[in-house]
Amino acid sequence: MHHFRYVGQNLHCESVDLAEVARLYGTPTYVYSASTMADNYTRLSGSMKGLDAQVCYAVKANSNLAVIRHLGNLGSAFEFASAGEMRRVIAAGASVRRSVFAGVGKTELEIRQALEAGIYSFHVESEPELARINHVAGKLGVKAAIAIRVNPDVDAHTHAKITTGTSANKFGIPLRQAAAAYEAASKYPHITIRGIQSHIGSQITDVKPFVETLEKLAPLAAELKERHRIEYISIGGGIGIVYRDALASGAASWWDAQPEASRPLTPEVYGATLSPMLAKLGLKVLLEPGRSMVANAGVLLTRVEYLKRGQGKNFLIVDAGMNDLVRPAMYDSYHEVVPLQRDTTRRALVADVVGPICESTDCFAKDRQVQEVGEGEYLALMSAGAYGHVMASRYNTRPIPAEVLVKGSAFEQVTARETFEQIIANEKIPAFLK
């Protein structure tokens, strides 16, 4: 459930009229609902009944300092994919003591920074990485706690570009080689074996691939507990959200109206299905949700620049582009497009909703039915809170967009829109051209 709905004819985020936000801060601007994030967090952490479970929010999904702080205040720890993300957690005033560091390419510097910061565990993705962590820890005279990311070779049935748990992917150590990798780890003087980890992909809307993964991992986890006294299992992230009917899905009645078999995966179903399997292991459980914490908590506000009526085709040209929200261009993702001011007396329009960038992939929606809107009116691209702002670029020398956080009737800009001067600040003309 989320906190975006029409109050009268105006789309609101919690108690804030989004058109007011657009007028105040300009567009394109990301707007996030703090209460939606809190609901998402509470539902997931509450779903792991009877377990010692810790949510480690995957910072990559939305790394705004305010978002990190908000989730930290709720009790979340963090999963980071770079030292930069770790430093964001620290800069947000949250602790990294219960947090984990993942990623296939950790550099020596990153490993050192994480050891100095005192993180909970490294999620190791290869044997050479084990050797490197041991080496860096040795130089610092400390022991590094690790878990090996095991690739269970499970098909998550999600978009090919966000599948990570099959043997065709670069991630983790194959299940068959994992026991040997743990043996190797146990020989290193500066490594402590602390856990086991797996993450099979993202936007997974069925609980079965998670079950299959746990079934495959359970015997190894039990053996590791016996042999190396591991204390935790991390089951990764990957819970999918509702992108189609995004606005409707915020209403409690919408869920009940779905046929049971086609109901999207909820945190409750995820928790209720996996908890009994996890309880048998007797280990602490780490969850690494990214998308399911923040995706439905965010929208991207954009202004209509032109309605271009072509031959048999209409184009709604908006001021947000693929540089601001790359998911449709990169993953063919669907984002609902809705007007900030609804007007039921207007005709519907079928159009491609496109940005201003010189690329045909700069398209948010194809042949989409939307309310007829014209220049100066605002639209919201729904479910843009995850992998939106964090993946924005400056392509076409466009500034990284602003971000606003809403809680109840309060709202504040939490990232200012970049200026042209900031964009070119690190560039210079070399002496030999002067």
Task: Please give the DSSP secondary-structure letter assigned to residue 349.
Answer: E
Rounded least distance, CB 412 to ligand LLP, Å: 25
Applying CB under 6 A, the span of 5-13, 17-25, 234-242, 266-274 interacting with ligand LLP comes to 234-242
d(CA 193, CA 230): 6
Q: Which is nearer to ligand LLP, 33 or 234 (CB)?
A: 234
Applying CB under 6 A, the span of 68-76, 140-148, 197-205, 359-367 interacting with ligand LLP comes to 197-205
Closest among 270, 297, 266, 314 to 382, alpha carbons compared: 297
Verify binding: residue 102, ligand LLP, rule CB under 6 A.
yes
Verify binding: residue 335, ligand LLP, rule CB under 6 A.
no
Verify binding: residue 401, ligand LLP, rule CB under 6 A.
no
Contact 211, 223 (CB under 8 A): no
Applying CB under 6 A, the span of 82-90, 273-281, 282-290, 369-377 interacting with ligand LLP comes to 282-290
For residue 426 the two structure tokens come to 């690190």
Residues 305-324 that bind ligand LLP (CB under 6 A): none
Contact 267, 292 (CB under 8 A): yes
Q: Which is nearer to ligand LLP, 29 or 292 (CB)?
A: 292
Count of residues binding ligand LLP (CB under 6 A)?
20
Applying CB under 6 A, the span of 68-76, 214-222, 284-292, 370-378 interacting with ligand LLP comes to 284-292
Beta carbons within 10 angstroms of residue 51's beta carbon: 19
Verify binding: residue 339, ligand LLP, rule CB under 6 A.
no
Could you say which of 13, 56, 358, 363 is catalytic?
358
Verify binding: residue 387, ligand LLP, rule CB under 6 A.
yes
d(CA 308, CA 166): 44
Residues 137-196 that bind ligand LLP (CB under 6 A): 162
Closest among 377, 247, 213, 362 to 307, alpha carbons compared: 377
Burial 373-385 (b: 16+ CB within 10 A, else e): beeebbbbbbbbb
Q: Which is nearer to ligand LLP, 167 or 369 (CB)?
A: 167
Contact 220, 178 (CB under 8 A): yes
Report strand pairing: 191-197 vs 144-151: parallel
Percent of residues in the chain assigned helix, strand, coil, to nearest 5:
35, 25, 40
Q: Which is nearer to ligand LLP, 321 or 339 (CB)?
A: 321
Q: Which residues contact 391 (CB under 8 A, 6 or more apart)?
A: 325, 326, 327, 330
CA torsion 75-76-82-84 (nearest 10°) is -40
Binder to ligand LLP among 289, 321, 339, 355 (CB under 6 A)?
Answer: 289
d(CA 46, CA 49): 7
Verify binding: residue 331, ligand LLP, rule CB under 6 A.
yes
Binder to ligand LLP among 12, 199, 303, 335 (CB under 6 A)?
Answer: 199
Binder to ligand LLP among 17, 288, 377, 403 (CB under 6 A)?
Answer: 288
Q: Which is nearer to ligand LLP, 149 or 398 (CB)?
A: 149
Binder to ligand LLP among 291, 368, 389, 407 (CB under 6 A)?
Answer: 291
Binder to ligand LLP among 72, 238, 339, 401 (CB under 6 A)?
Answer: 238
Verify binding: residue 210, ligand LLP, rule CB under 6 A.
no
Say whether 363 is catalytic.
no
- The CA R_g of the chain, rounded to the nearest whole Å, is 23
Rounded least distance, CB 365 to ligand LLP, Å: 16
d(CA 282, CA 50): 11
User: What is the binding site for ligand LLP (CB under 6 A)?
Assistant: 58, 61, 79, 102, 162, 199, 202-203, 236-239, 288-292, 327, 331, 387
Kindly list the catalytic residues: 358
